[in-house]
């Protein structure tokens, strides 16, 4: 039986991820006509949201469990760190903030990213707790 709280956390992550993708679009990471940068953006967004949706479907069907979400969460934390918090990133938090004309919009975009990362961390820790408790599918 899927854990309702974990499913809620996954829903929050999906919503925040969509908002973060909108932030990327607003800051110009998606170009029209489509070029190689836009293709990369589309691939990453599709893999993240498509993988999240497929994972939820498999979780609800009992094919995967908390161990799966613990591993996916760790991968998500790594991707988030490499994409926005590592010293090697081309899109640091300061760049997100400065990508907007008004301070409130930049703060909203950065806040969304931080909420996304905190939600992924929370879901990963909670899934790890469920896994260790014995729901290890």
- Using alpha carbons, select from 124, 40, 126, 50 the residue that is nearest to residue 81: 124
Looking at the predicted structure, is the pLDDT value of residue 72 above 70?
Answer: yes
Q: Which domain holds residue 117?
A: 4-133
Count up the domains in the chain and report the number. 1
Looking at the predicted structure, is the pLDDT value of residue 135 above 70?
Answer: no
Ramachandran quadrant class, 28 (left: phi over 0; alpha: psi -120 to 50; beta: rest): left
Looking at the predicted structure, is the pLDDT value of residue 123 above 60?
Answer: yes
The reported pLDDT for the residue numbered 134 is 85
Model confidence over 1-55: pLDDT tens digits? 899 999 999 999 999 999 999 999 999 988 888 998 889 899 999 999 999 999 9
């Amino acid at each position: 039986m899927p854990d309702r709280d974990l499913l809620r956390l996954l829903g929050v992550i999906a919503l925040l991820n969509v908002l973060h993708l909108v932030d990327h679009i607003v800051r110009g990471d998606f170009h029209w006509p489509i070029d190689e940068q836009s293709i990369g953006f589309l691939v990453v967004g599709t893999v993240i949201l498509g993988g999240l949706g497929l994972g939820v479907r498999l979780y609800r069907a009992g094919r995967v469990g908390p161990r799966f979400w613990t591993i996916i969460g760790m991968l998500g934390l790594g991707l988030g760190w490499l994409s926005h918090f590592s010293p090697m990133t081309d899109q640091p938090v300061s760049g997100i903030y400065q990508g907007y004309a008004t301070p409130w919009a930049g703060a909203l975009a950065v806040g969304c990213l931080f909420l996304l990362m905190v939600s992924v961390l929370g879901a990963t820790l909670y899934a790890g707790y469920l896994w260790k408790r014995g729901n290890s599918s």
